[in-house]
Amino acid sequence: MSDHDLVQRSVELEHRLAEMTGPDLLNSSPIDLRQRIVLAAAKVAVEHGQSARRLLLVEVAPNSGVVLVRAQYEALVRSVWLLFCATDAEMARLTATLDVSSEQSAKNMAGLLDMLAEVQKRAPMALSQQLVAFRDAQWKSLNSFVHAGIHPLSRTTGGFPKSLAISIAKVSNALTHMAYRVCASLGGEERLVATSGIYLEFRDCFPPMDATPTS
């Protein structure tokens, strides 16, 4: 698949996911505090994914695109943690009116490793296993791109293969798929099943399950 083809297919994938999840849910401002903040975190993950794929495949700024894939993953983990693990007090801290005090309070929230540990205990096993597997396979190389380590320096001096950019964009698609599944789960079992089942139709947009393309 060419980079242009993947751009088009990724757009089609996201449109289908949005349709299956439902505009009534995605565009709503739920009164329920947990639903509102879970949706917000998942939407951040989706937005990061859109920007990451554009940087990887269109704007030719792949190092920056990879950094956004890490941010996308963190937002996804946050959304799952908020859905299944966060206490009411933690929810309140993240939904408080933004000011200096609330910003400081939110700094002391659970970090990625802590969130993953809680997710493994409380979230559905299939979902938690996917999140942990992604971290085990991708985290070191993603961190290298964030901190200007050997990965981005090597890719900048030696060239960033188009095949690698395509592989990482597919990883981003997988994270986007998971983010929409989180959103869909708030709308009931039927929507969750629909978004989960789309994988087969868009298999060409996703990486192999054991892929480690950023290594």
Q: Residue ranges of the domains in the chain?
A: 3-205
**What is the pLDDT at residue 209?**
59
What amino acid occupies position 205? C
DSSP string covering 151-199: HHHHHHHH---HHHHHHHHHHHHHHHHHHHHHHHHTT-HHHHHHHHHTT
What amino acid occupies position 32? D
- 0.85 cut: is pTM over it? yes
What amino acid occupies position 212? T
Q: What is the mean pLDDT of residues 84-98?
A: 88
**What is the pLDDT at residue 99?**
83
Q: Give the pLDDT band of residue 212 (cuts 50, 70, 90).
A: very low
Q: Give the pLDDT band of residue 80 (cuts 50, 70, 90).
A: very high
Q: How big is the chain, counted in residues?
A: 215
pLDDT digits (tens, 9 = 90+) for 42-79: 999 999 999 999 999 999 899 999 999 999 999 999 99
Angle at 39 between CA 111 and CA 83, to 5 degrees: 55
Mean pLDDT (the chain) is 91
Q: What is the mean pLDDT of residues 79-102?
A: 88
Burial class (CB in 10 A: 0-12, 13-18, 19+), 98: exposed
pLDDT digits (tens, 9 = 90+) for 135-157: 999 889 999 999 999 999 999 99
**What is the pLDDT at residue 28?**
82
Q: Give the pLDDT band of residue 29 (cuts 50, 70, 90).
A: confident
* For the chain, percent of residues with pLDDT exceeding 90: 73
123 DSSP assignment: S
Residues 6+ positions from 93 with CB-CB distance below 8 Å: 102, 105, 106, 109
Phi-psi bin for 60: left (phi > 0), alpha (psi -120 to 50), beta?
left
**First-to-final CA distance of the chain:** 21
Higher pLDDT, 196 or 52: 52
pLDDT at 213 over 70: no
